[in-house]
Amino acid sequence: MAEPIRLIVGLGNPGAQYDKTRHNAGFWFVEELARRYSGQFLTEKRFSGEACRIQIGSESVWLLKPMTFMNRSGLATRQFADFYRIPVQQILVAHDELDLPVGDLRLKLAGGHGGHNGLRDLHAHLGADYWRLRLGIAHPGDRNKVVDYVLSPPTRDEEIAIRLAVDKAADQIALVLAGDLQKAMNELHRK
């Protein structure tokens, strides 16, 4: 058993123009958890983000959406974790992942940032030993097209696949909060 997760950070960009973009898949995940468990995000200026606390069974967990733009996500996460004394091993970061097909998802502990600017900033502020929920958005095929690709909305079929992955991950959240991350991985990685 791993340590239970006490903070789930969804990565994305603030502002209506980014709401429906692939890069905001992490926001979609924490927003789904808030919806399911009656959480209400409130602006927390001291944490450079929006946060809420939800109760799932006997466990409670903080949800955080950094409002610092993707490439400064580590600042908000560090501020929040420091204030509530949450160790890095008890943080789960949900983010879009170019290296997975659309709709695939993977749960893993630690690793590199893979060129993801949000993860790069998190590494700078926290190190690499946090959990990641990687939500597949696929790669556009040309690295010169990546920025435009992640900052544009997915097709209707892609959005459905990403939302289904978000739902699948949300269905396993009780295992994650209990620290049974291996069982959650087995469920999430099953086709």
Catalytic residues: 23
**Contact of 93 with 77, CB cutoff 8 Å:** yes
SS3 96: strand
Strands 59-66 and 49-56: antiparallel
13 is an annotated ligand-binding site residue: no
Ligand-binding site membership of 117 (annotated): yes
Strand, coil or helix: 50: strand
Contact 125, 80 (CB under 8 A): no
Q: How far apart are CA 79 and CA 112, in angstroms?
A: 22
From residue 99, how far is each of 29, 57, 75, 141, 154 by CA, in Å? 18, 34, 25, 11, 16
Written as six digits, the tokens of 79 are 């501020």
Tokens of 84: 């509530």
Stated length of the chain: 191
130 is in an annotated binding site: no
Neighbours of 134 (CB within 10 A): 27
Q: Which residue has the tokens 């992490």?
A: 26
The reply to whether 186 sits in an annotated binding site is: no
Question: Which residue ranges are tagged as binding site for tRNA?
Answer: 18, 69, 71, 117
Question: Which residue ranges are tagged as binding site?
Answer: 18, 69, 71, 117
